[in-house]
């Protein structure tokens, strides 16, 4: 609280002051990717720089020197930093060629000689027969030049969650180019205005879904080159689609030869030493967010993805684990504020997230940040200047849990309307949420319930047409099979199957939202949650939504409340023939309100609502009518 702080400073503002004094401000500090790792100077001199405080000596080896482990020593600088300058060759070309392999040789005080990849490596690859990744110097003679400006931040976010590697019907790792040419047009057609890309930061283990990151500045080489990812994002921008990166700063892979772990031979370096530096459930390392060079590394990493690849923002993974010393392990959250404010809170992580959000939103006005937090931490989405963490949105993670519970534990006739409404609306007033029924955490089920009583919308690629199979990456347990690590987009293009009907409903729902903007409107007024009728009715953005979830009952002359008086027409109807329904509602019908108070609203009208069992999905959505006040 600023009032209770005699200096008028919170932890993040103190850090900003220190950055100003020591580094000349956060702008320069967060551009450290331009000085660390390897940098080519205008005269083709190469400068190599690392931070390895526990190392006794550092050498550079690689293709350029015939893998000589001693010919190119780094010079030790203050604060654990090391530098090496290599002049150009006689023909004035750089001594290290583009696409050639390198290693940092670390000599430890214990007499070990370790071969490491630079933490700042921008490209790493793995030979087919190897399990270890190689650092590859990426300095293409003709780097990709972005042609299109970033789109404006949308008023309503309609997010399409994607994993590039599975975005193909073929049993292989799909490419950035495949996504650009074959998937982006589908996303545009569907009406999504935002893509969340998963598993971009390099990870040695494919089946980790990208959450065991080994090289933080490298885009995954499984799917192609850095230039091909840049093209993907540029083409998305040309289509008016913004792109978010699923960023993993909550932990790091334990890999040593091709990861950050024990880079300088010590147990610490980028991480806490001892038990505090290990996540017992994830079997991974935990960052020391109070470390100056750790802040440099992570904050520069965010800046790198924004500047070099032109991402438009981030979904921060594992925020709950970051916020608490217990990482959420064995701890439940009832909403009692004592659970959020006490010694169990990791203040270093809190300050890091505040710094990250402050810097991103200061440098990039339209940058979007989303927190994956299951704990319900208050102030998560409050501005940093008000003492909050500064995120734009939080994930409404109770909704997918409720969706799976309903499918697994309840018969259609036992769905509880009040409980569904409570789950969908259980959030702090004014706090923006990403609401979704299924994401990569819920891909064991096909189908997708898009509830409009949400702030936003999100799904895993393929759910928009009811993908028939779950997701499983190649691993020892399934004989390294790619059968389930793919998305069968070809099913949508097959006329005699019904997948295109659910695809069409998803598309038209997005387009209708784009027209009326209910996701960005004020909270809905819920006029009906009737357990016997299994009906939910609410009004938002001058649009009335009517859901009939009853497995057998249809209703004629069903009275629903309306705020504004006037004439209403049907704008979206899940019983439409184009969606696999029966087409029982005439969209030319006009519904007129009466000045008859109903459910605490001044007007009401009579409508017809049918029960419908939608094809290709495993639940009775029944009927959605969207009517517009004319």
Among 129, 243, 240, 249, smallest CA distance to 188 is for 240
Is 446 or 160 the better-scoring residue by pLDDT?
A: 160
CA triple 33-278-271, angle to 5 deg: 30
**540 torsion bin: left (phi>0), alpha (psi -120 to 50), beta (else):** beta
Distances 81 to 35, 36, 204, 248 between C-alpha atoms, Å: 12, 10, 27, 25
CA 335, chain centre distance (Å): 25
Q: Span 124-136, mean pLDDT?
A: 93
The Cα–Cα gap between 402 and 416 comes to 11
pLDDT at residue 435, rounded to an integer: 87
Q: Specify whether the CB–CB gap between 221 and 126 falls below 8 A.
A: yes
The Cα–Cα gap between 84 and 108 comes to 18
Has residue 323 got a pLDDT over 70?
yes
Among 120, 137, 154, the domain boundary falls at 137
| Largest CA-CA distance found in the chain, in angstroms, rounded | 90
Catalytic residue among 317, 464, 506, 575: 317
Taking the alpha carbons of 334, 337, 342, 347 in that order, is the dihedral positive or negative? positive
Has residue 614 got a pLDDT over 70?
no
Among 137, 160, 184, the domain boundary falls at 137
Would 205 be classed as within a structural domain? no
Read off the CATH number of the domain in which 562 is found: 2.60.40.1180
| Lowest mean pLDDT segment, chosen from 18-22, 139-143, 276-280, 442-446 | 442-446
Has residue 5 got a pLDDT over 50?
no
The residue with tokens 């192609």 is 224
Residue 161 annotated in active site: no
Number of domains in the chain: 2
DSSP per residue, 218-286:
EE-GGG--HHHHHHHHHHHHHTT-EEEEEE--S-B---SSSSSTTTTSSS-TTB-SGGGGEETTTTEE-
Q: How confident is the model at residue 454 (pLDDT cuts 50, 70, 90)?
A: very low
Q: Which residues pair with 378 in a beta bridge?
A: none
User: Per residue in 148-173, pLDDT tens?
Assistant: 999 999 999 999 999 999 999 999 99
Q: How confident is the model at residue 612 (pLDDT cuts 50, 70, 90)?
A: low
pLDDT at residue 459, rounded to an integer: 57
User: Per residue in 383-423, pLDDT tens?
Assistant: 999 999 999 999 988 898 899 899 899 999 999 999 999 99
Has residue 2 got a pLDDT over 80?
no
The Cα–Cα gap between 71 and 227 comes to 32
Q: Span 615-628, mean pLDDT?
A: 39
- Beta strand 368-371 with 393-396 is parallel
Is 621 or 52 the better-scoring residue by pLDDT?
A: 52
Q: Specify whether the CB–CB gap between 392 and 383 falls below 8 A.
A: no
Has residue 472 got a pLDDT over 80?
yes
CA triple 564-554-583, angle to 5 deg: 80
The Cα–Cα gap between 380 and 392 comes to 9
Among 457, 414, 423, 462, smallest CA distance to 440 is for 462
User: Per residue in 188-200, pLDDT tens?
Assistant: 999 999 999 999 9
Among 99, 118, 137, the domain boundary falls at 137
Specify the DSSP class assigned to residue 601: B
The Cα–Cα gap between 182 and 188 comes to 11
Would 58 be classed as within a structural domain? yes
Side-chain half-sphere exposure of 520, counting CA atoms within 13 A: 11
| Lowest mean pLDDT segment, chosen from 9-18, 496-505, 553-562 | 9-18
Taking the alpha carbons of 510, 515, 521, 525 in that order, is the dihedral positive or negative? negative
Q: Span 223-236, mean pLDDT?
A: 98
Among 572, 568, 536, smallest CA distance to 555 is for 536
Would 477 be classed as within a structural domain? no
Q: How confident is the model at residue 625 (pLDDT cuts 50, 70, 90)?
A: low
pLDDT at residue 262, rounded to an integer: 98
Has residue 10 got a pLDDT over 70?
no
User: What pTM, to 2 d.p., does this model score?
Assistant: 0.93
pLDDT at residue 460, rounded to an integer: 63
Read off the CATH number of the domain in which 123 is found: 2.60.40.10
Catalytic residue among 161, 258, 293, 372: 372
Containing structural domain, residue 44: 28-137
Has residue 228 got a pLDDT over 70?
yes
Would 578 be classed as within a structural domain? yes
pLDDT at residue 212, rounded to an integer: 96
CA 41, chain centre distance (Å): 35
Mean pLDDT score of the chain: 90
Q: How confident is the model at residue 4 (pLDDT cuts 50, 70, 90)?
A: very low
pLDDT at residue 442, rounded to an integer: 54
User: Per residue in 508-529, pLDDT tens?
Assistant: 999 999 999 999 999 999 999 9
Would 172 be classed as within a structural domain? no
pLDDT at residue 317, rounded to an integer: 96
Has residue 452 got a pLDDT over 50?
no
Q: How confident is the model at residue 349 (pLDDT cuts 50, 70, 90)?
A: very high
User: Per residue in 530-563, pLDDT tens?
Assistant: 999 999 999 999 899 999 999 889 898 999 999 9
pLDDT at residue 630, rounded to an integer: 57
Would 506 be classed as within a structural domain? no
Residue 317 annotated in active site: yes
Would 327 be classed as within a structural domain? no
Has residue 8 got a pLDDT over 70?
no
CA triple 264-265-271, angle to 5 deg: 70
CA triple 610-614-615, angle to 5 deg: 150
Has residue 609 got a pLDDT over 50?
yes
pLDDT at residue 629, rounded to an integer: 59
Would 455 be classed as within a structural domain? no
Has residue 329 got a pLDDT over 80?
yes
């Amino acid at each position: 609280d600023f009032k209770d702080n005699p200096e008028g400073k919170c932890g993040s503002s103190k850090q900003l002051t220190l950055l100003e004094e020591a580094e000349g401000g956060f702008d320069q500090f967060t551009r450290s990717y331009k000085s660390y790792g390897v940098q080519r100077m205008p005269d083709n001199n190469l400068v190599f720089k690392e931070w390895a405080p526990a190392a006794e000596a550092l050498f550079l080896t690689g293709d350029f020197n015939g893998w000589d482990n001693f010919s190119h020593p780094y010079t030790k600088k203050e604060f654990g930093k090391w530098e090496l300058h290599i002049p150009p060759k006689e023909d004035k070309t750089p001594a290290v060629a583009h696409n050639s392999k390198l290693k940092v040789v670390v000599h430890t005080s214990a007499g070990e000689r370790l071969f490491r990849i630079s933490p700042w490596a921008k490209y790493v690859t793995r030979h087919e027969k190897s399990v270890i990744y190689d650092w590859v110097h990426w300095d293409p003679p003709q780097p990709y030049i972005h042609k299109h400006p970033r789109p404006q931040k949308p008023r309503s976010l309609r997010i399409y969650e994607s994993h590039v590697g599975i975005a193909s019907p073929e049993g292989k790792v799909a490419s950035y180019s495949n996504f650009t040419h074959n998937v982006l047009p589908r996303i545009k057609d569907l009406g999504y205005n935002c893509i969340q890309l998963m598993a971009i930061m390099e990870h040695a283990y494919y089946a980790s879904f990208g959450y065991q990151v080994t090289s933080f500045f490298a885009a995954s080489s499984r799917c192609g080159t850095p230039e091909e990812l840049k093209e993907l994002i540029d083409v998305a921008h040309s289509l008016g689609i913004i792109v978010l990166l699923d960023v993993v700063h909550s932990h790091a892979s334990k890999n040593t030869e091709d990861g950050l772990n024990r880079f300088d031979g010590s147990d610490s370096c980028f991480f806490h030493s001892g038990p505090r530096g290990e996540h017992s459930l994830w079997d991974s390392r935990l960052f020391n967010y109070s470390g100056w060079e750790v802040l440099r590394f992570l904050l520069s990493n965010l800046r790198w993805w924004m500047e070099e690849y032109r991402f438009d923002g981030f979904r921060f993974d594992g925020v709950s684990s970051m916020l608490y010393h217990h990482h959420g392990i064995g701890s439940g959250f009832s909403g009692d504020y004592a659970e959020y404010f006490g010694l169990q809170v990791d203040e270093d992580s809190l300050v890091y997230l505040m710094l990250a959000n402050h810097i991103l939103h200061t440098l990039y006005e339209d940058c979007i940040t989303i927190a994956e937090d299951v704990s319900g931490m208050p102030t998560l989405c409050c501005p940093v200047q008000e003492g909050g963490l500064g995120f734009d949105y939080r994930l409404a993670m109770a909704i997918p849990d409720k969706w799976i519970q309903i499918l697994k534990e309840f018969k259609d006739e036992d769905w509880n309307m009040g409980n569904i409404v409570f789950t969908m609306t259980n959030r702090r007033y004014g706090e923006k949420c990403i609401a979704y029924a299924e994401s990569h955490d819920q891909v064991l089920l096909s189908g997708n319930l898009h509830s409009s009583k949400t702030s936003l919308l999100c799904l895993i690629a393929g759910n928009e047409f009811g993908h028939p199979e779950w997701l499983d990456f190649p691993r020892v347990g399934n004989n390294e099979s790619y059968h389930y690590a793919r998305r069968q987009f070809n099913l949508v293009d097959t006329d005699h199957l019904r997948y295109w009907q659910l695809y069409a409903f998803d598309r038209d729902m997005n387009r209708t939202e784009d027209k009326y903007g209910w996701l960005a409107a004020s909270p809905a007024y819920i006029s009906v949650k009737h357990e016997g009728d299994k009906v939910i009715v609410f009004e938002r953005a001058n649009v009335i939504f009517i859901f009939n979830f009853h497995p057998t009952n249809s209703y004629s002359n069903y009275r629903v409340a309306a705020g504004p008086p006037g004439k209403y027409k049907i704008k979206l109807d899940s019983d439409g023939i184009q969606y696999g329904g029966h087409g029982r509602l005439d969209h030319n019908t006009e519904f007129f309100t009466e000045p008859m108070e109903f459910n605490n609203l001044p007007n009401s009208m009579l409508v017809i609502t049918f029960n419908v069992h939608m094809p290709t999905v495993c639940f009775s959505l029944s009927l959605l009518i969207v009517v517009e006040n004319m």
